[in-house]
Amino acid sequence: MEFESKKKWKSVLPRLFKNKSASRCFFPKVKPATFSPSCTPVYLNVYDLTPMNGYIYWAGLGIFHSGVEVYGVEYAFGAHDYPTSGVFEVEPRQCPGFKFKKSIFIGTTSLDPHQVRDFVERYSERYNGDTYHLIVKNCNHFCDDICQKLTGKRIPRWVNRLARIGTQLHS
């Protein structure tokens, strides 16, 4: 399956750094027209699962769904009754049934769009919909695994804190 860009974005970087060299990556809200493989941002998009999160978030708790955004595609994991992949893709920050909360920059990947898609397709075999479990194998676990593989960095601990607490109580 080929990667297709649905939108064309103009970069503001050429104007900002005209006649200057930049030694590190900058990630404007405007996506560049061409992607530098060594500097492609990976984001974690976090969604509220319940309006109660607005109250318990400040206590360090919450129930969240998450997806990994890279190259304008968001990958996430969900449950279903079949022994096939539960990984799906959506428009970034538009996951149906959830209220978008925030996008968190995790790091960068050196993979190009085709390599990312191939990687997610291969890796999704480990995440069948009938193996989804709220405490030990949920969407946040999937995102943490994907982020670690793409960037070498983990997702923030607060995103899956209730599952970790559940694991301790379940033991």
Catalytic residues: 65, 139
Residue 170 token pair: 């379940």
- Whether 46 contacts 140, CB under 8 Å: no
What is the biggest distance separating any 2 CA atoms in the chain, rounded to whole angstroms? 59
Distance of alpha carbon 50 from alpha carbon 30, whole angstroms: 30
Residue 64 burial (10 A CB sphere; 0-12, 13-18, 19+): buried
Radius of gyration of the chain (CA): 17
Any bridge partners for residue 85, and if so which?
128
Smallest CA-to-CA distance from 143 within 111, 114, 101, 104 is with 104
Any bridge partners for residue 99, and if so which?
48
DSSP annotation of 137 reads: B
